[in-house]
Amino acid sequence: DAKTTQPTSMDCAEGRAANLPCNHSTISGNEYVYWYRQIHSQGPQYIIHGLKNNETNEMASLIITEDRKSSTLILPHATLRDTAVYYCMTPFGNEKLTFGTGTRLTIIP
Amino acid sequence: DAGVIQSPRHEVTEMGQEVTLRCKPISGHDYLFWYRQTMMRGLELLIYFNNNVPIDDSGMPEDRFSAKMPNASFSTLKIQPSEPRDSAVYFCASSLAGWGAHEQFFGPGTRLTVL
């Protein structure tokens, strides 16, 4: 799978939109972009995934650039419960998920 | 559905003892994964099953570790003998089949401490 790069940590004010970037400049045409998060002491939680088009679900929005070399996960109205480590991954086909170090997002009251 | 169920939630044992971790996947899910998480190494995939058959066990650290899935609703991860370096949180996850499907549902984990 393509290597992904994420900032180590980010802060966001409660109620504001949290924008988490991910670079995947070597992504291939068939590799999806997946986002998970892990709240302290819990198992990772699937958030969203996409291939080319922007995606939105009840948790977040995923914006993928036209060249697919980067993406942004958007939490539209961050709450304290969104404090977690967020992982961006680009598995190919049945290739296993590889969790890196992710971005530690802290929501500030 | 109750989600992925793991037991026990916490396990404290002494070096040399056998440890068995248990997992019940979400009903209907064809894939089951065992992960290990430590501060030093992060979240690592140990092994995964498809339709109860082990597909990739390349992440299993050594022969002391073994995993089984006797049926679609139950899997075990066994460590024998256990060592202090095995202390970690062990997660089980399951997912539906499908090429490229990576939406995995994780259990709450088992925190293992080997003294």
Verify whether the Cβ–Cβ distance B102 to A42 is below 8 Å.
Answer: no
Tokens matching residue B58:
């390349």
Task: Give B33-79 pLDDT, tens digit per residue.
Answer: 999 999 999 999 999 999 999 998 999 988 999 999 999 999 999 99
Residues of B in contact with A89 (CB under 8 A): 102
Which residue matches tokens 């670079």?
A: A23
What is the SS3 assignment for A17? coil
Task: Report in angstroms the alpha-carbon separations of B76 from A48, B8, B22, B59.
Answer: 29, 11, 5, 16
Residues of B in contact with A30 (CB under 8 A): 100
Q: Are strands B31-38 and B88-95 parallel, antiparallel or unpaired?
A: antiparallel
pLDDT for residue B115 is more than 60: yes
Q: Are strands B10-13 and B19-24 parallel, antiparallel or unpaired?
A: unpaired
Q: For B104, which residue in chain A has the nearest alpha carbon?
A: A46
For the segment A24-44, the average pLDDT, to the nearest whole number, is 91
Q: What is the mean pLDDT of chain A?
A: 92
